[in-house]
Amino acid sequence: MQIKSITDEAFKKYGRVLKIEVPDLLERLAKTPVTDGVEYVASAPELEACSEREAIQNSIYGGMPIQIGYCNGTNHTLNAVEYHRDSEIDIALDGAILLIGSEADVEDDFTYDTAKMELLQHRQVQW
């Protein structure tokens, strides 16, 4: 499977790259635990208290309530695939690998051929 950049033309069908300044959020994110396994926290009060929360909520989500959490660690296994019907913003402190697929590829019996997924990389960026 070829690794593509989120700036590659292939990413456009899944979303777009937002250029937002979130220094307080990144500083708080840097203080969250990083383990050998993977820790997922959907809603972290220490992140949700960041000074950029209201701006993210209003400018990106039209004022709808949001959660700010994290997924940290080193993953060695792909054992599940998530499904989202709404927008999700991923802010990578140190970079991330995203396996992304299209809802249009979900079969009538709700199965999904993971061979149709694309591997996208978000490298560390200067904020």
Helix/strand/coil for 112: coil
CA distance 65 to 114: 32
Per-residue pLDDT of 59-92, as tens digits, reads 999 999 999 999 988 877 777 787 777 788 888 8
Contact in structure between 43 and 68 (CB atoms under 8 Å)? yes
Closest by Cα among 4, 37, 2, 14 to 89: 14
Q: In what helix (H) or strand (E) does residue 39 lie, and over which residues does it extend?
A: strand 38-41
Per-residue pLDDT tens digits for 99-113: 888 889 999 999 999
pTM passes above 0.95: no
d(C-alpha 29, C-alpha 76), whole Å: 22
